[in-house]
Amino acid sequence: MKKVALFIAGFMLVFAPIKVNADEGMWLPLFIKRLNYADMKKEGLKLKPEEIYSVNNSSLKDAIVRLGRGFCTGEMISDQGLMLTNHHCGFGVIQKYSTEENNYLDDGFWAMEKKDELPAGFSVSFLVSMEDVTEKVNAELNEEMTLEERNKAIKMISDSLEKEAKGETDYEVNVRSFFNGNQFFLFIYQTFQDVRLVGAPPSSIGKFGGDTDNWMWPRHTGDFTLFRVYANENNEPAEYSEDNVPYKPKHHLPVSLKGIEEGDFSMIFGFPGSTDRFLTSAGIKYELETRQPTYVKLRRAVLDIYEEEMAQDEATRIAYASKHASISNYWKYFKGQSAGLKRLKVYDKKKAQEDALQEWINQDERRKELYAGVLEGFDTGYENLKEVNRYRIYLNEAIFRVEAIAYSRRFGTLKGLLEAEEKDEEAIAKEVEKLKAGMEANYKDYSKKIDVQVFAEMMKTFSEDIPKENQPEAVVNLFAKYNGDFEKMAAEFYDSTIFADPLSTKEFLDNPSAEGIANDPIWIIQNAVISDYYDNVKPMISKETEGLARSERLFVKGLMEMNSDKNYAPDANSTMRMTYGTVGDYVPRDAVKYDYYTTAQGILEKEDPTDHEFIVPAKLKDLILAKDYGQYASEDGELVVNFISNNDITGGNSGSPMINGNGELIGTAFDGNWEAMSGDIAFETQLQRTIGVDIRYTLFIIDKFAGAKHLIDEMTIVK
């Protein structure tokens, strides 16, 4: 799962003034009692509100963690800090430790003792509390403010509130905007830095189906990885140390072996990244005509280069596995979302809603004054920003997709220190050592052969697709020098740059000079596009964003005022959310019906020894053929692998727990379905499904396949 957010906020689709469905909405758990509890009880929830969210007592929220800054979610499943998340969330860690001799990607990894667990390199954060501070922030704002004045005022009051809430603690505190700047909430987190890899199945299980099955149902993927959170002797956050001990969480999820049935209650807790459900028809047009086609084109070009080289060399396949997976996931996401927006005629539905809002505005003089120009502002804003935003996409997806160019940016601080009239030798030495220390990580999974090809292809694409008048003059001159021969340009640049091989980088750092950086051809391109961005592009974006930001904020305000009887869920923004619904099948198109679960038999049906995406490990195949499922089999003797529910999730929810009405873990969310790829912009009640790994399949792989029963013994198993 996915995705980079738009520079603007998102949109929650409401087509008519009807009650919000129980399966739609990513809700703040703070308001469970007021907004959601009655509906959740009807769906099958047995817990009390305070057992789900409480500041003073142990609750479900205390078992849920945010990975890093929000790239995934995890859940605590033992009182010894054991954490479950997705295989694709841990993929980068698994890849980092993989070599041709110890290929954890292909063979899996299992720490049979705690001393064998490997540092993960990311932190996890627990939510301590959240608070509505809307009145405090809005008291400092008014409609006469410019965007700059408004943002400055929001930052000032937010800084004050954060400082007060943090006090003398080591908590992370931040105020976040909701409903496009109409509401504000303060969040307090406790972050643990010492996280270690415990267990991961081979990719033939964790990524079974690969890119072919990504975003598709039916699925047969064991998309899970186990980590452990460590703390100091006082159970407090601490940097990595051999003296640290497993963290004892305030709450961990009991693990259910009871299985799932159609219609069963399903609740998901997690940290969804971003949705765009307040996106207007003008925004849909921009997505379909500019943004998404650009991403698809540029990422496909890079993937073609990666895949050709990865197929030829095992070391390259391992080195580029994580990079390929990340780029490919979003490439397919944008393809599917574009198709879904068109197929489901989302533009027309949005336009109809906007027409209804305009009619409501016209019925009252106060509204006409307050909301004047709001809808027109979207058309103007998107039109004025179309080309400049396309340039920004090319900057990120073409120019800085070239690894040598991206790496060269790290040398800017050193260049500045070396150019200073009064050189600070101590600062220079410190920066040089910092750059030397980062060389190993930069070059560990780097192929100069691949990067040369990516450079040539991306420069060619940038030259052809971005109008010359919008390209930096220095870049235009470089392109002209080579007269369209980008392969020659790449070859010459990579022969002379200091940023494409470790020997050249080290030689330079042993005797650094400002001229050595300034005259480097890779640096020249990087510096030209960055300078152009800050001198020309960013000011234009800031200028045009003023009106668009006002339209976004007042559009949402108007919708909520017009439909005051509705309960609106805010767009996702990497803060903790709760979503609820039921397990169930769906009809993707005429004459086709998908069941709500898959079994291990489907793994054998998909097996293809000639396709790396559908290889089945011999041991797993033997276990399936023998139906040796142990206590993890269903009542009819089958092994359920994946199941679906109508929960509302998005990127960032990967790894989120799927919880039954008793607060027990029944699965781990890892994907959505192809037919509802437009769901981040327009939730489709009949089509939207969350795909999860059945917890019984996860336990089966840990126990019967990997022989790591000691991990099962840590858990609280409910039969």
Are the C-beta atoms of residues 634 and 259 closer than 8 Å to each other? yes
The secondary element (H helix, E strand) that includes residue 521 is helix 521-532
Instruction: Give how far Cα 368 sits from Cα of 281, 373, 650, Å.
Output: 21, 9, 36
Give the model confidence (pLDDT) of 260-277 as tens digits. 999 999 999 999 999 999
Mean pLDDT of the chain: 94
What is the reported pLDDT for 21?
43
Query: Does position 576 have pLDDT exceeding 70, yes or no?
Result: yes
In this prediction, residues 537-556 reach a mean pLDDT of: 91
In this prediction, residues 309-322 reach a mean pLDDT of: 95
Residue in 596, 575, 593, 571 with CA at minimum distance from that of residue 584: 596
Is residue 88 part of the annotated active site? The answer reads yes
What is the reported pLDDT for 212?
96
Residue at token pair 């004025």:
384
Are the C-beta atoms of residues 194 and 239 closer than 8 Å to each other? yes
| Strand-pair category, 172-178 with 124-132 | unpaired
Query: Does position 121 have pLDDT exceeding 70, yes or no?
Result: yes
In this prediction, residues 212-223 reach a mean pLDDT of: 97
Residue at token pair 């943090």:
166
Phi-psi region of 609 (alpha: psi -120 to 50; beta: other; left: phi over 0): alpha
What is the reported pLDDT for 23?
64
Residue in 645, 627, 659, 580 with CA at minimum distance from that of residue 256: 659
Per the residue annotation, which of 23, 62, 213, 223 is the catalytic one?
A: 223
Work out the pLDDT band at 210, boundaries 50, 70, 90. very high
Q: What are the DSSP calls for 111-152, one per residue?
A: -SSGGG-EE-S--EEEEEEEEE-HHHHHTT--TTS-HHHHHH
In this prediction, residues 495-518 reach a mean pLDDT of: 97
Are the C-beta atoms of residues 275 and 6 closer than 8 Å to each other? no
What is the reported pLDDT for 543?
85
Are the C-beta atoms of residues 296 and 327 closer than 8 Å to each other? no
In this prediction, residues 73-88 reach a mean pLDDT of: 98
Query: Does position 20 have pLDDT exceeding 80, yes or no?
Result: no
Is residue 223 part of the annotated active site? The answer reads yes
Per the residue annotation, which of 203, 281, 654, 656 is the catalytic one?
A: 654
Work out the pLDDT band at 339, boundaries 50, 70, 90. very high
3-state SS class at 598: strand
Per the residue annotation, which of 23, 59, 62, 88 is the catalytic one?
A: 88
What is the phi/psi pair of residue 349, to 5°?
A: -70, -40
Query: Does position 618 have pLDDT exceeding 90, yes or no?
Result: yes
In this prediction, residues 318-344 reach a mean pLDDT of: 94
Work out the pLDDT band at 35, boundaries 50, 70, 90. confident
In this prediction, residues 672-679 reach a mean pLDDT of: 94
Percent of the chain surpassing pLDDT 70: 97
CA triple 15-658-199, angle to 5 deg:
135
Query: Does position 5 have pLDDT exceeding 70, yes or no?
Result: no
Residue in 191, 163, 190, 192 with CA at minimum distance from that of residue 175: 163
What is the reported pLDDT for 15?
32
pTM of the model: 0.92
What is the reported pLDDT for 545?
87
Query: Does position 144 have pLDDT exceeding 60, yes or no?
Result: yes
Percent of the chain surpassing pLDDT 90: 93
